[in-house]
Protein backbone atom coordinates (compact mmCIF):
# COMPACT_ATOMS: atom_id res chain seq x y z
CA UNK A 1 0.00 0.00 0.00
CA UNK A 2 1.25 3.46 -0.90
CA UNK A 3 1.98 6.09 1.74
CA UNK A 4 1.24 8.91 -0.70
CA UNK A 5 -1.57 11.07 0.74
CA UNK A 6 -4.69 11.63 -1.36
CA UNK A 7 -5.05 15.35 -1.90
CA UNK A 8 -8.04 17.31 -3.13
CA UNK A 9 -8.36 21.04 -3.79
CA UNK A 10 -11.73 22.82 -4.04
CA UNK A 11 -13.08 26.35 -3.89
CA UNK A 12 -14.14 27.67 -0.50
CA UNK A 13 -17.96 27.73 -0.63
CA UNK A 14 -19.47 31.20 -0.43
CA UNK A 15 -16.23 33.11 -1.07
CA UNK A 16 -16.14 35.22 -4.20
CA UNK A 17 -13.18 35.86 -6.43
CA UNK A 18 -11.72 39.20 -5.43
CA UNK A 19 -9.30 41.74 -6.87
CA UNK A 20 -6.44 42.65 -4.54
CA UNK A 21 -4.78 46.08 -4.26
CA UNK A 22 -1.90 44.86 -6.44
CA UNK A 23 -4.38 44.07 -9.25
CA UNK A 24 -4.17 40.30 -8.95
CA UNK A 25 -7.29 38.19 -8.57
CA UNK A 26 -7.57 35.78 -5.64
CA UNK A 27 -9.59 32.57 -5.49
CA UNK A 28 -9.79 31.00 -2.02
CA UNK A 29 -9.22 27.24 -2.07
CA UNK A 30 -9.36 24.42 0.49
CA UNK A 31 -6.76 21.67 0.58
CA UNK A 32 -7.96 18.32 1.90
CA UNK A 33 -5.51 15.52 2.60
CA UNK A 34 -6.82 11.97 3.00
CA UNK A 35 -10.38 13.32 3.30
CA UNK A 36 -9.59 15.78 6.11
CA UNK A 37 -9.30 19.57 5.84
CA UNK A 38 -5.65 20.57 5.89
CA UNK A 39 -5.29 24.23 4.85
CA UNK A 40 -6.68 27.29 3.09
CA UNK A 41 -4.80 28.26 -0.05
CA UNK A 42 -5.12 31.46 -2.06
CA UNK A 43 -4.81 31.03 -5.83
CA UNK A 44 -3.53 34.39 -7.08
CA UNK A 45 -3.73 35.17 -10.79
CA UNK A 46 -2.68 38.16 -12.85
CA UNK A 47 -5.49 39.62 -14.97
CA UNK A 48 -3.87 37.99 -18.04
CA UNK A 49 -3.75 34.58 -16.31
CA UNK A 50 -7.38 34.99 -15.20
CA UNK A 51 -8.43 35.88 -18.76
CA UNK A 52 -6.73 32.77 -20.15
CA UNK A 53 -8.40 30.62 -17.46
CA UNK A 54 -11.75 32.25 -18.27
CA UNK A 55 -11.36 31.48 -21.99
CA UNK A 56 -10.29 27.89 -21.28
CA UNK A 57 -13.29 27.34 -18.97
CA UNK A 58 -15.72 28.77 -21.54
CA UNK A 59 -14.19 26.52 -24.19
CA UNK A 60 -14.37 23.45 -21.92
CA UNK A 61 -17.99 24.19 -20.96
CA UNK A 62 -18.95 24.90 -24.59
CA UNK A 63 -22.69 24.20 -24.87
CA UNK A 64 -23.03 22.25 -21.63
CA UNK A 65 -25.68 23.23 -19.15
CA UNK A 66 -25.04 23.53 -15.42
CA UNK A 67 -27.38 23.15 -12.43
CA UNK A 68 -27.02 26.88 -11.66
CA UNK A 69 -28.08 27.80 -15.19
CA UNK A 70 -30.86 25.21 -15.12
CA UNK A 71 -32.13 26.88 -11.92
CA UNK A 72 -32.88 30.12 -13.75
CA UNK A 73 -29.56 31.99 -13.66
CA UNK A 74 -28.79 33.79 -16.90
CA UNK A 75 -25.80 32.76 -18.95
CA UNK A 76 -22.95 35.25 -18.85
CA UNK A 77 -22.37 37.06 -22.16
CA UNK A 78 -19.33 34.94 -22.94
CA UNK A 79 -21.48 31.76 -22.90
CA UNK A 80 -24.29 33.11 -25.08
CA UNK A 81 -24.36 32.10 -28.75
CA UNK A 82 -22.78 34.50 -31.21
CA UNK A 83 -25.38 36.09 -33.52
CA UNK A 84 -25.33 34.03 -36.72
CA UNK A 85 -22.80 31.62 -35.27
CA UNK A 86 -25.10 29.02 -33.75
CA UNK A 87 -22.55 28.07 -31.09
CA UNK A 88 -20.89 29.78 -28.13
CA UNK A 89 -17.73 31.87 -28.33
CA UNK A 90 -14.43 30.10 -28.87
CA UNK A 91 -11.21 31.39 -27.38
| Average pLDDT score over residue span 80-89 | 54
Q: What is the pLDDT of residue 91?
A: 46
Q: Could you tell me which residues come within 8 angstroms of residue 57 by beta carbon, excluding any fewer than 6 positions away?
A: none
The 10s digit of each residue's pLDDT in 3-54 is: 888 999 999 988 999 999 999 999 999 999 998 888 999 999 999 999 999 9
The span from the CA of 64 to the CA of 30, in Å, is: 26
Asked if residues 43 and 14 have their Cβ atoms less than 8 Å apart, the reply is no
Q: List the beta strands (DSSP E) in 1-83.
A: 7-11, 18-19, 25-33, 36-45
pLDDT band, very low/low/confident/very high, at 61 (cuts 50, 70, 90): confident
Amino acid sequence: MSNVPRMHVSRVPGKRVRREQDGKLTIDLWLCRDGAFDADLPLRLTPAEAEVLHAQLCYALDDESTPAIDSGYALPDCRRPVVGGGRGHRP
